[in-house]
Amino acid sequence: MDRNMEDDMNYFDNDFKKISRCPICGAKENRFLYQIATGASDDFEGKEINRAVDVVQCRCGFVFAKEILNENGKAKYWKNYASRCHESNEENNQKREIMYGLEYEFISSFFRFGDQSAVLDVGCGEGGFLDFFNGMKCYGIELGEEAAEKASKRHKIFKGELPDIDFSEMGEEKFDLIIFRGVLQYLDEPVRYLEKADRLLKRGGYLYITSTPNADSFCAKLFKEYFSFAVCSVAGNGFSQNVLTNQLKKYNYQLCGEKYFYEETPYCNYVEDIKHVLKAAELSKKGEPIDFRSPAFWGNMMSLVYKKLDS
């Protein structure tokens, strides 16, 4: 074996861990869905990842990858994510800003904000979504070093991962709103995150899960590994509304709002999008492989609002 190839294999083998049980219900039985190779866009410090991983679905409905990033891999992947992905594409940044506005408007229809309201954004990135909650007590959690540093210039930021962070410096204060925006799909132990969020959220408070890929969407099931937000070794979780709602019922939460943004977004081009989906459906019907990525479409992304009940 070539020495450089061997070094690269060791480099990546130290960054992943195997998953044998469903991260939600713990069951070992599952159904194979597809195999996916994490591509060049998901790189570590300039090194391309090119390793295949099986993606399966548990009987509880949860979709997950059988191999995901470990602590070492997460640190490498998120370290310079801000400059590698966000700062490198101004057009995408402008589209993301529009989505922030749409998602803020949606949560505002459920939650009456005041200057004493405490908001926590888990996986806040550079703090762009928190900026929309200006005037409130805004807190963020971020694993990426670059992103955390930038967000900390405007908000109170905790560096690390939610289950491991000590909030004792805040005294007895709890949060009125906790946000998971575009982050649940990346968590290696999602139940630990949801349980910690429950302990931090006030009774009557809101949990906002938004910009989250819908594993039960038409495109996810049709395109499989070519779904634009396919489950893979980096984004190892595939949630659906049913899976989330069933899990949160255990903590006494009620689903009080759901939205699947598409037509109002800057990603919508429904004439061309329908053409691409129709082409994929025809290939699937013929038993032929789909070899192009899914477009934006109805149902692809979830925005879910849960209320923590008083009793």
pLDDT at residue 93 greater than cutoff 80 = yes
Largest CA distance in the chain: 63
Distances from the Cα of 125 to the Cα of 45, 80, 85, 102, 160, angstroms: 18, 11, 11, 18, 12
In one-letter notation, the amino acid at residue 291 is D
How far is it, in rounded angstroms, from Cα 213 to Cα 231?
9
266's CB contacts (< 8 A; 6+ apart) are 94, 95, 98, 99
* Angle ∠(57,63,65) on CA atoms, nearest 5: 100
Domain count, the chain: 1
Q: Tell me the per-residue pLDDT of 270-310, one tens digit each, with 9 for 90 and over.
A: 999 999 999 999 999 999 999 999 999 999 999 999 999 98
Q: Tell me the per-residue pLDDT of 190-225, one tens digit each, with 9 for 90 and over.
A: 999 999 999 999 999 999 999 999 999 999 999 999
* HSE-up (13 A, CA, CB side) for residue 11: 17
Q: Tell me the per-residue pLDDT of 152-176, one tens digit each, with 9 for 90 and over.
A: 999 999 999 999 999 887 766 799 9
- Which residues, in sequence order, are bridge partners of residue 31? 57
Closest CA to 77 of 18, 9, 146, 164: 146
Q: Which domain holds residue 59?
A: 3-308
How far is it, in rounded angstroms, from Cα 132 to Cα 224?
34
pTM score:
0.92
How far is it, in rounded angstroms, from Cα 33 to Cα 54?
8
Structure tokens at 133: 């909650």
Write the CATH number for 58. 3.40.50.150
